[in-house]
Amino acid sequence: MRRELCAALVARAARPDLVFLTGDLGFGALEPLRDALGERFLNAGIAEQNMIGVAAALASEGLEPWTYTIAPFCYARAFEQIRNDVCFHRLPVRMLANGGGYAYGVMGPTHHALEDYGVLSTLPGLHIFVPAFDADVAAVVDAAGTQAGPAYIRLGRGEVPEGCVAPAYAPWRRLREGNGPVVVAVGPMAGVVWSAVGSREDLDGPELWAVSELPLCASPPPQAFVAALTARRRLCVVEEHVAQGGLGQSLAAWCLEGGLAVAEFRHLAAAGYPSGTYGSQAFHRRESGLDPAAIRATLAA
Amino acid sequence: MARPVHTLRVEAGSGAHGAVSATTAHLTPGLLTLARWRLLAMHRAANVGHLGGNLSALDAMMLVHHEFLSEQDRFVLSKGHAAGALYVTLWSRGLISDTELGSFHADGTRLPGHPPARGLPTNRFGTGSLGHGLSLSAGLALAAKLQRRTNRVFCMTSDGEWQEGSTFEALIFCTHRRLSNLTILIDHNRLQGFGATAEVASLDPIGRVLCGFDVEIREADGHDLADMRRALSPGSSRPVAVILHTVKGHGVPAIEGRMDSHYLPLTEEQHREAVLGDAFAAEMAQ
């Protein structure tokens, strides 16, 4: 999504208040943005805590700061700055986090982001975006840019399966209709599930929804989703995030609180590193049962 | 000999207007004494500590707010545990009422033990976790440069706070960006929560550490107004770091230079002695 991100921010660069801070990331991707922004493009160096604090202060002066680094270097390294400096003050800092889930693959676990939106969902007023497809990025940048408060944008690689056409961006989107279980996938996992269950609208197959904004209090499920779940009463949540703090848990609680009786609940989530070995994003997804074959098997069970 | 005319309490809701002028004109030693008394009274009423670091920072904070800080300038209290000194300083400028000051540390207060994130006049940031304020100040200074404003940014840190790595992240940023509109005040009282800075994780003398950065280093007696006026004067092509040589618990002999002043509240007797001692000294000066 880096190319789409750069294009979306270049299109926004004419806004005189926009300031972009990178934690020394962007080689081979963000040069057009650097050229478009001039002095408003800052390489803040390998100092993420400082970068977030600086961005908070820039926002307090009416500027529009965007920060950019690898996801864990943002939410994990600079968590206290996000909490204290940004969220306590409700400042509109937009934090771009590259490499959601296992996206950095064999680079290893220090570069993975498996608990980011769970942790960040606990912070007041922080709106989280998880674009599902590359084509979503422009709309997400627009949406995050108009937030009155802080935003965290989890970027990954999101591909629409061959033969499928994704509907226009929305926080909740129905990608596939069906009378089977209601499947909810977060961000790019929507494309993986979609490829697993196929585009042909087999009415016995699952109904697939993509979720791209969290937490649920800021992005509640739409009525069509509620109607489908009420009718089917079978729910499956798929996410490249640990189960603890993920959408699965919060959606289950949301159902309970709303009196929505779900008869069957399945939760496919990141399992961490069960074999103790490392590999590509596809390898880690397989180890977690997040690959198309495992998803198909779960839904068929 | 006449007794000092200052009173510890003024009319409710009036800030300090009843006793002092709320201008940014000359800061007098008398006003400083009044502020210290109010600080002591406030902590005594709440029966809370953190007095040592408040008293070491109070004189500089008062001077900056009364003589240097314009409406366009910014002040960030990175050593948030000196919140009491900040509240009293704002009170002395008529920005917080005496009634509100009386709510310090109480349930439902807007004046907790560390500055809140919202609702405090002129104060932009809630602080308290050390190592945040210099980055925030760097951002304010950078914003001024980007927005072509000429205002100054003052950031007060403790000395122990320089053990936080994030403070050095910020310093590197400030110097690399040549944020010459930024003045860093270091309250160098040489004591931290559980020991002397020289014993815990020594950077002493802190000036020698800062010499490795492209920052203009100045030093001053943090309890000498004239000396601080000189050190805080504008005019540098680089960020300025002012090392303020201070005494933890300054002005209260019972706790001066003592580490436990970081935590322990004054007893009633210590409080009375501190105020009477000041009053006696004021009389002798007449």
User: How far apart are alpha carbons B158 and B131 in whole angstroms?
Assistant: 10
Cβ(A48)–Cβ(A95) below 8 Å: no
Fold classification of A172-300 is Rossmann fold (3.40.50)
Residues with Cβ within 8 Å of B115's Cβ and at least 6 positions away in sequence, in order, are B77, B80, B83, B86, B123, B125, B126, B127, B128
- Give the contacts of B285 (CB within 8 A, at least 6 positions apart): none
**Residue A289 backbone phi and psi in degrees, to 5:** 70, 30
Cross-chain CB nearest to B143 (options A45, A53, A58):
A58
What percentage of chain B reaches a pLDDT higher than 90?
A: 70
**pLDDT of B6 strictly over 60:** no
Chain B contact present for A54, CB below 8 A: yes
Q: Which residue carries 């933890």 as its tokens?
A: B248
- Taking CA atoms, B52 is separated from A43, B58, B193, B248, in Å, by 39, 10, 10, 5
As a whole number of angstroms, the distance between CA A31 and CA B92 comes to 51
pLDDT tens digits, B13-49: 334 433 343 345 789 999 999 999 999 999 999 999 8
The reply to whether the predicted model has a pTM over 0.80 is: yes
Angle between helices B133-146 and A48-60 (to 10 degrees): 50
User: Which has the higher per-residue pLDDT, B119 or B170?
Assistant: B170
Residue A300 corresponds to which tokens in the numbers above? 């068929």
| The pLDDT of residue B133 is above 90 | yes
Residue A248: what are its φ and ψ, rounded to 5°? Answer: -55, -50
Q: pLDDT at position B5, please?
A: 28
Q: What's the N-to-C CA distance of chain B in angstroms?
A: 7
CATH architecture, domain defined by B29-285: 3-Layer(aba) Sandwich (3.40)
Show the DSSP H helices in chain B as ranges.
29-46, 51-63, 83-92, 98-101, 133-146, 165-176, 197-200, 206-210, 225-231, 268-285
Whole-number Cα distances in Å, A251 to A169, A170, A220, A260: 21, 18, 10, 11
pLDDT score of B159 more than 60 = yes
Asked if A104 contacts A72 with a C-beta cutoff of 8 angstroms, the reply is no
Per-residue pLDDT band at B284 (split at 50, 70, 90): low
Q: Where are the domains of chain A?
A: 2-155, 172-300
List CB contacts (< 8 A) between B136 and chain A: 53-54, 56-57, 85
* pLDDT (average), residues B136-150: 98
Residue with tokens 């009282």: B189
Mean pLDDT of chain B: 88
- Whose tokens are 């950077």? That residue is B203
Average pLDDT over residues A104-119: 97
Q: In a 3-state reduction of DSSP, which class is residue B189?
A: coil
pLDDT-derived band at A222, boundaries 50, 70, 90: very high
By three-state DSSP, how is residue B182 classified?
strand
Superfamily classification of domain A2-155: Thiamin diphosphate (ThDP)-binding fold, Pyr/PP domains (3.40.50.970)
- In angstroms, the Cα distances linking A205 to A106, A122, A201, A252, B181 are 34, 35, 7, 22, 64
pLDDT at A198: 84
Establish if B147 touches chain A: CB-CB under 8 angstroms. Answer: yes
- B29-46 and B268-285 helices cross at what angle (nearest 10)? 170
Q: Is A52 left (phi over 0), alpha (psi -120 to 50) or beta?
A: alpha
The two structure tokens encoding residue B152: 């100054």
Task: Give which of A50, A67, A73, A85 to mutate to test B binding, by max B Cβ within 10 Å.
Answer: A50
Cα–Cα distance, B31 to B36 (Å, whole number): 9
How do residues A32-61 score in pLDDT, each as one tens digit? 999 999 999 999 999 999 999 999 999 999
Gap between the Cα atoms of B277 and B256, Å rounded: 14
Of B136, B147, B172, the CB nearest to A57: B136
Mean pLDDT of chain A: 96
Over residues A143-191, the pLDDT tens digits come to: 999 999 999 999 999 889 998 999 999 999 999 999 999 999 999 999 9
CA distance A253 to chain B (A): 31
How far is it, in rounded angstroms, from Cα B205 to Cα B49? Answer: 27
Q: Is the pLDDT of residue B87 over 70?
A: yes
Higher pLDDT, B19 or B158: B158
Of residues B25 and B82, more confidence is placed in: B82
Alpha-carbon gap: B243 to the closest alpha carbon of chain A (Å): 22
The pLDDT score that the predictor gives to residue B18 is: 37
Q: Is the pLDDT of residue B267 over 50?
A: yes
In three-state secondary structure terms, A228 is helix
Q: Which amino acid is at B131?
A: G
Q: What is the pLDDT confidence band of residue B277, given thresholds at 50, 70 and 90? A: confident
Count the Cβ atoms, other than its own, within 10 Å of residue B217. 18
CB-neighbour burial class of residue B59 (10 A; exposed 0-12, middle 13-18, buried 19+): buried
Using a CB–CB cutoff of 8 Å, tell me whether A58 touches chain B.
Answer: yes
Task: Name the burial class of residue A299, with classes exposed (0-12), middle (13-18) and buried (19+) by CB atoms within 10 angstroms of its CB.
Answer: buried
The CA-based angle A106-A107-A110, given to 5 degrees, is 120
Neighboring chain A residues of B146 at a CB cutoff of 8 Å: 19, 39-40, 58, 63
Neighbours of B85 (CB within 10 A): 28
What are A63-86's pLDDT values in tens digits? 999 999 999 999 999 999 999 999
Helix (H, G, I), strand (E, B) or coil at B80: helix
Interface contact flag, A54 B147, Cβ < 8 Å:
no
Alpha helices in A121-174 (DSSP H): 137-145
A40 touches chain B (CB under 8 A): yes
Q: Is residue A116 over pLDDT 70?
A: yes
ipTM: 0.95
CA distance readout (Å), A11 to A32, A36, B34: 11, 9, 57
For chain B, the domains span: 29-285
For residue range A233-282, what is the model confidence (pLDDT) as tens digits? 999 999 999 999 999 999 999 999 999 999 999 999 999 999 999 999 99
Predicted pLDDT of residue B283: 60
Amino acid at residue number B223: H
Q: Do domains A2-155 and A172-300 have the same CATH topology?
A: yes
Phi-psi category of B277—alpha, beta or left, where left has phi over 0 and alpha has psi -120 to 50? alpha
A121 pLDDT above the threshold of 90: yes
Structure token digits, residue B123: 């104060």
Show the tokens assigned to A283: 């390898």
